[in-house]
Copies of this chain bind each other. A is one copy, B any other.
Amino acid sequence: MSKCEQCIVRQFSSLKALGKDELLRMAECKTSYTIKKGEPIFEEGEVTNGIYCIKDGVCKLSKLSDNGKDQIVKLVKPGELLGQRSMISDEPANLSAVALEDMEVCFIPRTEVMQFFTQNNQFSMNVMRTICDDLKGADDHMVNMAQKNVRQRLAETLIYLEETFGKNEDDTLRIQLSREELAGMIGTATESCIRLLSELNKSGYIELIGKKIKLLDKNKLKRLS
């Protein structure tokens, strides 16, 4: 059983407010998992009963729409927590969490987190701020979905992916999404997504190297979006 004190999640998440004794307690009751690319951490409707700390790997939070398509609501990266909203609302998960890469996560039971939550004011304030940020992000995202066309949303998403998850040595996007997943992020049909990628490729905005994507002119892309 490893310590929580040096963990990346502690440094970047609400957990940074926890003291030494709290970290020790947490280290004792936590469960560590490795999750393979494509596997779920939890599914929409599932009772999670705790929060997950993302130590390594990126996952998608998505929701199945009535039309059978999976809409990706958010991507979550190492250092972040999952399941905070469900814990506070005391509700089943509203979204599914599925690994986009091999992941390392820790699970901390609800009972434990709620203790920190009521006893440690700074911690609860941090959690709340995170949820507020999510709310702001969701509102903004919604406006984009409603008001921008697919090309604009694609351009915006590509820039977001590069800025958030960085580039490989060959300047391609480090985060690897299938065309279907990319379509699920921008909210369109897979074919439309592929077609627009081709178009951006031909007009020199991006370069397609196999399944990898390189942004050639971020400023031009920004003007598109």
- Point out residues on A near B: beta carbons under 8 Å: 63, 65-67, 69, 71, 73, 85, 88-89, 91, 94-95, 118, 121, 124-125, 128-129, 131-136, 138-148, 186-187
Contact = CB atoms under 8 A, between A and B. Distances in A.
A215 B67 CA distance: 24
A88 B132 contact: yes
Contacts of A65: 143-144, 146-148
Contacts of A67: 147-148
A33 to B, nearest CB: 24
A71 B148 contact: no
Nearest to A64: B143
A63 B147 CA distance: 11
A139 B89 contact: no
B85 A135 contact: yes
Contacts of A131: 128, 131-132, 135
Given A85-B132, A134-B135, A136-B85, A146 B143 contact: no
A36 to B, nearest CB: 26
Contacts of A129: 88-89
B135 A71 contact: no
Contacts of A139: 63, 73, 94-95, 138
A37 B143 CA distance: 24
A140 B63 contact: yes
A149 to B, nearest CB: 9
A107 B71 CA distance: 38
